[in-house]
Amino acid sequence: MPLIDLPLPELYRYNGRNPKPNDFEAYWQRAVNQLDDIDPELRLHPVDPVGASQAECFDLWFTGAGGARVYAKFLRPHHRPTPCPAVLMFHGYAGDSGNWHEKLAYVSEGFCVAALDVRGQGGRSEDVGGVKGNTLRGHIIRGLEDHVDKLLYRDIYLDTVRLARLVMAMPEVDETRVGATGGSQGGALTLAAAALEPRIRLAAPIYPFLCDYLRVWEMDLAKDAYGELREWFRRFDPTHARQQEIFERLGYIDNQFLAPRIQAEILMGTALMDPICPPSTQFAAYNRIQSAKEIVIYPDFGHEDLPGMRDRIFRFLMQMRN
């Protein structure tokens, strides 16, 4: 079988390369606690984008870290037994929350659905900026030269927590039956949400992004989605004098270090020929998950649609229906 990474038996033993900040746990506990100081200013505006008879659709807005107004699509069954299970959906890098009709399969099974627009990307959520240093196109590098609390993905991860909490607090939702799913960046946000909001019951990431940055660098795969890492070093640290410091800072937003906090049951999909999110980086997170977990391997696939995986995830999340 062709390989772009470690052989599969070694992947199951791989423990990651990126350095972990010494205050990682305190950093994230402080960050989550700070959400309590922010009024979410939840707003729900009914819309009728597709004329679906079985769903009520809403534009959902809330205030996230730094005062950003963050958007999500929210759908609930028109005729529903309450409380309902719910699914949180997260999209890929630079994308958006997708079309309304794509959520209707879950709604038809009695689920509420909330699909986040990541701030500053392809959707409607606001990026308030406000960091020192460059903002050179990339979200991974946003805040690297400022205080570590200014890392943009810190706020994005907190947006997933805020959305989960808001959905769990809705009277029509059973807070004990909430799941999450997404691919690539959406897979990373699925892991982050499950780690930082431990009430999430089931989580189904597909080839998660934002894991083990140093491994990406050492594999010479700092391109495509990770290309901003290479560009940052070329422009701002061409001799790599700060390499240890930079990768340690990136460790604050590395999902492999959040993974041990996850209590949700995990179903993960991984493609062994993925040059965008290398398999070893995904296993760096997967191998640290201590809750019940399963990984589905696609040996001949890359960063692309994995046949049958979303059907499998649908069945997995349907466990919360009853």
- The Cα–Cα gap between 182 and 307 comes to 15
Residue 299: C-alpha distances to residues 87, 92, 117, 271, 281 (Å): 28, 22, 31, 6, 16
- The Cα–Cα gap between 115 and 152 comes to 20
303 tagged catalytic: yes
DSSP-derived secondary structure for 104-151:
HHHHHTT-EEEEE--TTSSSS-------SS---S-STTTTTTS-GGG-
184 tagged catalytic: yes
- The Cα–Cα gap between 54 and 29 comes to 40
- The Cα–Cα gap between 35 and 67 comes to 11
Are the beta carbons of 172 and 182 closer than 8 angstroms? no
- Choice among 5, 212, 274, 280 that is catalytic: 274
53 tagged catalytic: no
- Choice among 127, 184, 254, 280 that is catalytic: 184
Give the strand pairing for 112-116 and 84-90. Answer: parallel
Q: Tell me, what amino acid is at 22?
A: N
113: Cβ contacts below 8 Å, ≥ 6 apart: 73, 74, 75, 76, 86, 87, 89, 103, 106, 107
- The Cα–Cα gap between 165 and 179 comes to 12
Catalytic residues: 184, 274, 303
